[in-house]
Structure 1
Amino acid sequence: MLITILPLIVLSALIGGATYFQAGKLIEAETKSVEQRILDAKQQEIRHYISLALNSIERYYLEEPGGREVAKQEAKRILNNMAFGPDGYFFVYSMDGTNLVHPKLAHLIGKRLWDLQYPESDLGIRALMEAARRGGGFQEYIWHKPSTGLVEKKLSYGVLLPKWGWMLGTGLYIDDIAKEVEEIRTDITVSVRETLAVIFAITSAAIIVAGTVIAAVRLSEQRFADSKLKELTNRIFEVQEQERKRVSTELHDSISQLLVSVRYGVEMIHSEANRGSDLRGYAEKSLGILDDAISEVRRISRDLRPSVLDDMGLASALISLGKEFETQSAIQVDVSAQKCHDRLSDSAKTALYRLVQEALTNVARHSGATKVDINLVVGNDTLRLTIEDNGQGLPTPLPRGGGLGIRNMRERMETHNGFLQLSNMAKGGARILVTMPLDQASHRAA
C-alpha cells in the first residue's frame, strides 16, 4: 500500500509546492503589472488636467490684459475655481517654495513650504520644483488628503511658468492603488488556495480509491488463500481418515483374524496338555498374551477408525466413545445424542467424532473433572453439540489460537462451515459449543 500511495502523496506535494511557488511569482508579477497600469493611467489623467489648467490661463499668461498683476490675480481666481473629484485641485508655488494657490487648504497660502517634509517622504515641494525645472515631471510624496484629513501618498505633476516665476501643479492621491493591488493579491491568493484544496481533495480521493482497491484485492487474495487452505486441510483430514480406515480394516480383517486363529490353536494345545502341568502352564500364559494382543489390536483399530461410526452413525459412535472413555478414565460420561441420518456428510460426522475424541482427551489430561456431559441436538437447520465438564475450566485469558488440539478442532469445524466456541461456565468447568449447518436437501427429501 505504501508503494502505491507514497508516490501519490509525493507527487501531489510536488505539484502543490510548484503551484504555490509559481502562484507567488504570478502574484508579484500581476500586482506589479496592475500597479503600473493604474499608475500610467493616473499619470495620463494628471497630464490631461495640467493641459486643461494651462489652456484656462493661457490668455492671461501670454497677453497679461490689464497688466501682469491683474493677469496673475485673474489666473489665481480661475485655478481656485477649477476642481475635479473630492480631492482634485490645482496649486501654485513661487520659485522659493511659497504657496500662492491652494483651493483645499487655504491656510497654506503665503507660507513657504520649501523644506516641508512628512515622515518617510521626500521634500515634496522641492522635489516637484526640480522636476518642473527639468521641463515638467512627476513626483511621489506624502501630503494631506482633504476628504479624510489623513496624510496619504500623492502623485503630482509640476510645470514651470518662468515668465511669472510660478510652478503650476496638480496631482492624484494613489492610496487607492495599494487597495486595488491588495484586492487583486487577495483574489489570486484565494484562487491559489482553492487550487491547492482541489489538489488535496483529488489526492485524498486517489488515496482512498487506491487504498480501497488494494484492500479489496488483498481481502480477495486472503479469502482465496483461506479457501485453498481449507480445501487443503479438508483434503489432509480426508486422506488421514482414509489411511486410518485402511489400517483399521487391515488390523481387524487380517492381523486380528490371524491372532484369533492362533488362539484357537493354542486352546487345542491347552486342552490336550492335561498330562504335563508345565506344558499346560505355558499354554495358559500364551493364551493370556494372545488375549491382550487381540484386545490391543482391536483398540488400535477402533481408535484409528471406529467401525460403529460407519455402521451405526454418529449418535451411536458418540455413545460408544463415551462408554469406552468412562471405562478407561473412571470419569463419568453422560451422552445424549439425536440421530442426524443423512443430513451430514461422512467427513462432517468424522470431524465431529474427532472433535469429541480430542475434547475427552483434554478433559482427562488437564481438567481434573469427574463428570462430562455430551449433548447432540439436531434441529431443522443446524446441529448443536455441547461438551461440558465440572473441572477447573479453561485458563484465562485463553492463549491466542489455543493449543494444537484446539487449532485442529477449529480447522475441522471451519472446513464444514461450523463454528466452535470455548468458554468457562459460571458454576465451574469448561464448555465447548459447536454449531454446524445441516443438509436442507436431504431434510426436504426425508
Structure 2
Amino acid sequence: MTFKTKLLLITILPLIAVSILVGGTTYYQSRELVNAQTQAVEQRILSSKRQEIRNYVSLALTSIEQIYEEEPGGRIAAQERVKDIFKNLTFDYDGYFFVYRLDGTNIVHPKLPHLVGGNWWDLQDENGDYVIRNLLEEAKTGGGFHQYVWNKPSTGTVEEKLGYAIMLDKWGWMLGTGLYTDDIAREVAGIRLEMANSIRQTLLVIFLITLAATVIVGTLIAGVRFSEQRFADSKLKELTNRIFQVQEQERKRVSTELHDSISQLLVSVRYGIEMIHSEAVREPDLQSQASKCLKTLDATIAEVRRISRDLRPSVLDDMGLAAALVSLGKEFQNQSGITVNVSAEQCHNRLSEGAKTALYRVVQECVTNVARHACASEVNIDLTVGSHILTLSVEDNGVGLPNPLPRGGGLGFRNMRERMETYGGKLIIGWRASGGTRIMVEMPLDKLAAKAA
C-alpha cells in the first residue's frame, strides 16, 4: 500500500466513521423523538375526545333532565319519550347515543336498529372484548371510558372506538355514546410519515456533507501529493543536471590532464627511446628492443589520446557540436567498420554549452548501443537547426529494439531522457519502417541568441 493511499485512508476513514456515528445517533434519537411525539399527540387527541364525549353526554342529560326527574304521564310514558329523544339525538354522522338495561338488553340504537330488544351481554368485538359487559362495569363505577372496535356507519368498516357510559340509576339504564378514533391513527401515521421524511432528509444531508468532505479531503491530499511530487521531480532534475555537470567537469579535467601532462610525458619518453634506437646501430639486440618500446609507446600515446578524446572531445569546445558529431562519426566508423553518414548544421551560440554536451553524449551513447546490440551496417546521424527547435536523429539498419519496449527503456535510455529533459528537450524511441532503430531528439533553441544571429 502506497503512502498516498495510507494517508488517504487515515484521513477519510475517521471522517466516514464519525459521519456514520452521527447519522446512526441522529436516526436513533429521531425515532425516539417520533415515538414520544406521536404518543403525546395521541394522548392529547384522546384527552380532547374524552372531553368532547363528556360534553355530548352532558347535553344529552340536560335534554332529558326534566322528563327523567318528573316522569310526566308516568314512568313508562316518560321512558318512551326519552327513547325517542335518544333515537333522534345525533352528532356528526357517526355520533349517536345507545341505551342498555343492566342485563345487556338493548333499548336504543339509532344506527343499528336490529340490536334493539336483543340481549348482548356476551357480545364480543374482533379482539375478543366483551363490549357491553365492560361498558356496564364502567357505568356502575360512576361513569367511565372503554375502548373497543365497532362498526362505523359512515364507512361500513370496523374501527377503533372510544366509548363512554353512565348510569341512569332510577330506571336501571346504561346511557352510552362514543367517538371513533381512526382519525387519530391517520393523524399519527401522517406525523410519523412527515417525521420519517425529515429523518431521511437529515440523513441525506449528512451523507452529502460526508461525500463532499471526502471529495474535498481527497482532492486536497491529491493536490498536496501532486505538489510534493512536482517539487521532488524538480529537485531530482536539478540534482541530475548537477551530477551531469560535475561529471563533465571531471571528465574535462581528466582529459586535460591526460592530454597536457601524461601524453606529453609519454612523447618525451618516446624521443629518448628514438635516440637510443638511433645510437644502437652497432647493437642489434638493443635496437630491436628499442623498436618494440617505440611501438608500445606509440600504441600507449594513441590510447591515451583516445581516452582523452572520449572523456571530453576538444573539437566540441573548439569547433562546436556539428564538427564534433562529424569527428565522432569518423572515429566510430574507423573503430567499428560500420558506415556512418553525418549531416549536421551549425547551431552557433543558440545552445548552451551544457546542452551541446548533452546532445553529444546522447549520440555517443546511441552509436555505442549500435556497436553492441544492433548488428547494423549503417548509421545515419542528422542534426537540423530550425527557427525554434533543434532536431537530432540517429538511425541504424540493425535488428531494431524489442517490441514492446521494456518499461523505462533501460538505464541508457533513461539517462539520455534525463539529459534531454534537463534542457527542456524530449527523446523519442522508435522503429524505422525498413527495419532498425530510430532515436529522435527535439530541443528548444535560445530565442535571444536566434534574434542576435
Give me the TM-score of the superposition, normalised by structure 2: 0.96
1:243 maps to 250
Residue 3 of structure 2 corresponds to none
Match of residue 385, structure 1, among 373, 387, 392: 392
Hey, what does 1:186 align to over in structure 2?
193
Q: What number of residue pairs does the alignment pair up?
A: 446
Say yes or no: does 1:312 pair with 2:312.
Answer: no
Instruction: Give the 5 Å matches for 1:22-421.
Output: 22-421=29-428
1:260 shift after superposition: 1.7
- 1:192: how far off? 1.1
Letter in 2 for 1:124: V
Kept in 2, the 8 Å contact 1:121–1:142? The answer is no
Write out per-residue CA displacement over residues 366-390 of structure 1, whole angstroms, 9 at most, x where no aligned residue: 1111111111111222211111111
The one-letter code matched in structure 1 to 2:266 is L
Q: Which runs of 5+ in 2 are unaligned?
A: 1-7
Q: CA deviation at 1:243?
A: 0.4
**1:8-55 deviation per Cα after TM superposition (whole angstroms, max 9, x unaligned):** 111111111111111111111111111111111111111111111111
TM-score, scaled to structure 1: 0.97
Evaluate the alpha carbon distance shift between residue 426 and residue 124 of structure 1 in structure 2; reply closer, same or farther with a 3 A threshold: farther
CA distance in 1, matches of 2:328, 2:119: 126
Structure-2 separation of matches of 1:105 and 1:375: 114
Listed as ranges, the gaps of 5+ residues in structure 1 are none
Deviations 1:76-119 (A, max 9, x none): 11112121112111111111212211112222222222211122
SS at match of 2:257: helix
Instruction: Give the conservation status (yes or no) of the 8 Å contact 1:413–1:420.
Output: yes
> Cα offset for 1:268?
3.0
- The residue type paired with residue 447 of structure 2 is Q
User: What amino acid maps onto 1:198 in structure 2?
Assistant: V
Cα shift at 1:265: 2.7
- The 1-side partners of 2:183 and 2:126 are apart by 20
Residue 121 (structure 1) shift:
4.2
1:230 Cα deviation from its structure 2 partner: 0.8
Taking the aligned partners of 1:144 and 1:418, their CA distance within structure 2 comes to: 93
Tell me if structure 2 keeps the 8 A contact 1:384–1:433: yes
| Deviation of 1:219 (Å) | 1.0
Secondary structure of the residue that 1:84 maps to in structure 2?
coil
State percent identity of aligned pairs. 66
Q: Distance in 2 between matches of 1:111 and 1:395?
A: 107
| Displacement after TM superposition at 1:234 (Å) | 0.6
Q: C-alpha distance in 2, partners of 1:279/1:356? A: 47
Letter in 2 for 1:2: L
- Give the Å deviation of 1:197: 1.0
Q: What RMSD, in angstroms, separates the aligned Cα atoms of the two structures? A: 1.3
In 1, distance between residues paired with 2:152 and 2:13? 58
Mapped to 1, the partners of 2:118 and 2:381 lie a distance apart of 120
2:4 corresponds to = none
| Aligned partners of 1:121 and 1:141 also within 8 Å | no
Task: Say which SS state the counterpart of residue 343 (structure 2) adopts.
Answer: strand
